[in-house]
Every structure is written in structure tokens, then in C-alpha cells.
Amino acid sequence: MEPVYAGVVSTARLLWLAQGLKFDISGVENMPAHGPGVVAINHTGYLDFTFAGIPAFLQKPRRYVRFMAKKEVFDNAVGGPIMRSLKHIPVDRANGAQSYRDAVDYLKRGELVGVYPEATISRSFELKEFKSGAARMSLESGAPIIPTIIWGAQRIWTKGHPRQLGRTGFKIMVGVGEPLRPEGTPEELTQRLFDSMRAKLTELQDGYGEYPAGEFWVPAARGGGAPTLEEANAMDRADAEAKAAKRARREASGDAD
């Protein structure tokens, strides 16, 4: 039993109740009741991780997922101590090798480690190209990969749109696919993971209900206002270029000083 983690989950459940969120959780039996697992999660919004741990928490005994999160969250005066007490893993993009080693070490100790194969939020709400980190962790540690899909969380808070944290009554679906054995090359295992998560995402999208035309949270392929995957990728590239230019100007200014 981890009182701090359990307390955080209990608080989250009260907030979900206050928001009137409706949950549809499936595939809990696919979440390992014991031993390690790489919990691979799609990324559509800022609160995905709060829902991705539900299937593990429903296990008996309860299990807790150690999420990989960017270092800046751990640097925060309020969030940092909480993240460390929950034993989450900081990801320093300037030193990703250390984060990877920490995650593999957790897995070898029998933990569940949560990762986002897409690395960043998908503005299209479809799956972006996967990084190979989850597969490499699985192969090195011998832990299975647990494909996990969140659907509906983008309605609450996602990139480029205001938060909807009042009493919304939104439906949130969490689906866990069959574990993938750590076999093959990193590229082959990454492709198997992508195919599994794409199938599960389609399944949850099909079962979600009606999609209002033009709504920002609805994928373009289903008549919504979200950008297509190609458009979203172009937006991501533009953002990356803008950040790089801003960083270069800042560094040049520093040199001038």
C-alpha cells in the first residue's frame, strides 16, 4: 500500500465525480496483476496520465504506474515533491539516456512504467508516428508492453484549446489491449505496438457515441474540426522551428552580453 499515491488517486476520483465524468473501462484483465509492464499510452490531452492508471488501480491488489514525465514538472515547487513521492520518472530531453536507464531499472524491479510512444500530444487525436523507446525498454527488461488507449480526455484539456474543468459530464474511455511479448527487433515490436493501439483506438472511437460535426475534439475523419494527421504534423514542425529560433535568439543575446 502506498498512502501518498492512494491519496492522490482518491482526490482525483473526487474531482472526477465533481465533474460528472462517466467512465468506460475495458480490458482490465490485460493489465498485469504482478510483475513488470511497459504501459504504452496514446497522447491526446494533458490529463491522459490521470486516467491511464485506472486499470492498474482496479487490480487486486492495487497496482501503481510510474509515469515518465518531462523534467520541468519535477522542477515545479508544488508538483515536483508530489511527482517524486509517487516515484514517477523525470525525463530530461538533454539527457534522455538517464531517463531510459531509470525506466529499465524500474521494470527490472517489477514495476509498471507508463510511456507515451508518440512523445507529444497528437493534435489530430489519431496516432502519430511512434518512437522506439517503449519497445527497447521492453526488450532490455523482458517486460511485456501493455497497449493502453484513452479516448475522450481531449475534451477536458488539450493543446491549443481552453480547459473544461467544470461539471462537464464527459465520457472517458480507457481500453487495455492484450500484452505484447518482448520479441523481435525494436522496429518490429514498435510496429506491432502501433498496430495494436491503432486497432484499439478505432474500437473505442466506434463505441464512443455521436460525434458533433465540426467540434474541435472530433477527428477530421469523423467529421470533426480537429486537423488531419498531416496538418497536425505540419503544425508540430512549425512549433519546433519557432522554439528553435527563439532558443537561438536567446543564446545569441547571451553571447552578446
Give the relative orientation of helices 133-141 and 186-208 as an angle to the nearest 10 degrees: 120
Say what the pLDDT of residue 33 is.
Answer: 95
List the end-to-end C-alpha distance of the chain, in Å, as a whole number. Answer: 53
Beta pairing class for 145-151 and 171-176 = antiparallel
Given a cut of 60, is residue 252 above it in pLDDT?
A: yes
Domain residue ranges in the chain:
3-226
Which tens digit of pLDDT belongs to each residue from 134-187? 999 999 999 999 999 999 999 999 999 999 999 999 999 999 999 999 999 999
Q: Quick count: other Cβ atoms within 10 Å of Cβ 109?
A: 10
Say what the pLDDT of residue 255 is.
Answer: 63
* Domain 3-226: CATH architecture, name and number where available: 3-Layer(aba) Sandwich (3.40)
Which tens digit of pLDDT belongs to each residue from 91-121? 987 777 999 999 999 999 999 999 999 999 9
Given a cut of 90, is residue 9 above it in pLDDT?
A: yes
Beta pairing class for 171-176 and 22-26 = parallel
Query: Which pLDDT band, with edges at 50, 70 and 90, does 128 fall under?
Result: very high
Given a cut of 90, is residue 253 above it in pLDDT?
A: no
Q: Which of 84, 26, 92, 38 lies closest to 65 in space, CA to CA? A: 38
Could you tell me the CA-to-CA distances from 191 to 186, 203, 233, 241 in Å, in that order? 9, 18, 19, 28
Given a cut of 60, is residue 67 above it in pLDDT?
A: yes
CB 142 within 8 A of CB 132: no
For residues 123 and 158, give the distance between their C-alpha atoms in angstroms, rounded to a whole number. Answer: 8
Say what the pLDDT of residue 116 is.
Answer: 97
Q: Which of 105, 83, 16, 84 lies closest to 54 in space, CA to CA? A: 16
Mean pLDDT score, 7-24: 95
CB 200 within 8 A of CB 175: yes
**Considering the chain, what is the average pLDDT of its residues?**
95
Given a cut of 60, is residue 256 above it in pLDDT?
A: no
For residues 61 and 1, give the distance between their C-alpha atoms in angstroms, rounded to a whole number. Answer: 9
